[in-house]
Amino acid sequence: MGLPIPVAAIARCLQCPLVVDAQAVASLPVSKGAYALVLRIPGRVEVTVRTNAHALPAGWYVYVGSARGPGGLRARLARHFRADRKPHWHVDALTAVANRLYALALVAGSECEVVRRLAELPATSFPIAGFGSSDCADCRAHLLRWHARPDAHRA
């Protein structure tokens, strides 16, 4: 399918067969579950989390969420791919400017379990504590950064 390296690596880590872009999102099931948005931001983005302003550098990021409402994963992920919606979640600041955006749907998955598995990869780190995880007491954040050269940021 020619997926970008971070998208392919994350799908492999999560053993996730349902990887879609904006064109394929309508083919997702309406099941409830967890999802990972893998996106690339082309330049620095300012975001405010817990009243603190942060700057994220250009690069690849993974945001993990869950879809429990009507329409399940299909409806929630379709919303993330729409450019015209009002900002509501922290991640909307990133999807609004992303130049690559893919979604991995995990039917019946748990978002915090997904974060835990991704955090074990040497290429990931948590750039902003509390990002996307206001309702979660277990995770440092539900946003991870993907490092193209994992050794550089852990040295």
* Residues in touch with Zn ion (CB under 5 A): 112, 136, 138-139
Q: CB-wise, 7 or 34, nearer to Zn ion?
A: 34
Q: CB-wise, 81 or 131, nearer to Zn ion?
A: 131
| Shortest distance (Å) from residue 140 CB to Zn ion | 9
| Shortest distance (Å) from residue 74 CB to Zn ion | 22
Residue with tokens 């405010």, as numbered in its chain: 48
Q: CB-wise, 44 or 116, nearer to Zn ion?
A: 116
| Shortest distance (Å) from residue 106 CB to Zn ion | 14
Cβ atoms < 10 Å from Cβ of 124: 24
The residue ranges of DSSP E strands in the chain, in sequence order, are 18-20, 33-41, 45-49, 52-56, 59-67, 100-107, 124-125, 143-146
Short-list 99, 114, 89, CA closest to 60: 99
